[in-house]
Amino acid sequence: MIKILLILTFISCNVWSKVSLELLLSTASVKQGEIASGQLLVKQTEGQAGLSGLQGKKLGNILYLLKVSPFMGKQGNLESQAKVIFLAVPQNTSISEIINGEEVSISWSNIQVLPTESSKSFLFGNFEIPERKKIILWILIFLGLILVSGISFWGRNYFKHKKNNANKFKNLKKELINCISYEEIVLMWRQKLLYLDAFPAIDITFKKFEEELFKYQFKSQRTEREVAEVLLAYQKFKDEVSGVLNEL
């Protein structure tokens, strides 16, 4: 009890310039990069220094102090609950580092640090930094997904446009050759440019039919015989263009 009181007195007065700690883990073995839980015990102190400021510190490239709770007296010793990460497989059982101007030494025994399968992978806290090849692979996968999505989007639009055009041409063919009355023939003729734009191959045939239609179209009145001649000319026009349209 007297030992603890003396140590606490030193802490409260910010004493010690050197401290030796012992690391005890809850398991006998731990993997490199794995978060391990345990305790830090105060073994020895010298000079004037403090025990604060250890959390988040790295000792060499070996040990990272992820979490260090305040040191408390327990069974005649000062100890802290800690979470640590072995960044590499240690060659020795102790390590020292100057932290906040103080020399901090941490030793351990009966702890086996197992190397990870890929020494280039590095776990720090809760984040894993993958290998360079793995990063490139994920970038290629991401770009591949974008490319596939783009091709799929283009393909849907292309075939939709093609289908719409096919339906448009199909409807224009029906309008062009399915007229029954004189009035329907005139309505069809008024959309001449629309049909010629869709089916330029019927241009000459359309002009021949148009010559027959113009003989009577602009008269104020038409006799039944004249209407019959227009219907006969349209029938001939329809027979001629049907073969052309079937080839399109």
Tens of pLDDT, residue by residue over 100-121, are: 888 899 999 889 999 986 544 4
Q: What letters, b where the CB count within 10 A reaches 16 and e where it falls short, cover 150-179?
A: eeeeeeeeeeeeeeeeeeeeeebbeebbeb
- How high is the pLDDT of residue 8? 46
* 232/212 Cα distance (integer angstroms): 10
Judged against a pLDDT cut of 60, whether residue 42 lies above it is answered with: yes
- How high is the pLDDT of residue 32? 92
Write down the pTM of the prediction.
0.42
Mean per-residue pLDDT of the chain: 82
Per DSSP, 198 falls in state H
Judged against a pLDDT cut of 70, whether residue 63 lies above it is answered with: yes
- How high is the pLDDT of residue 146? 92
Q: What is the mean pLDDT of residues 27-52?
A: 84
Tens of pLDDT, residue by residue over 201-221, are: 888 889 989 888 888 888 888
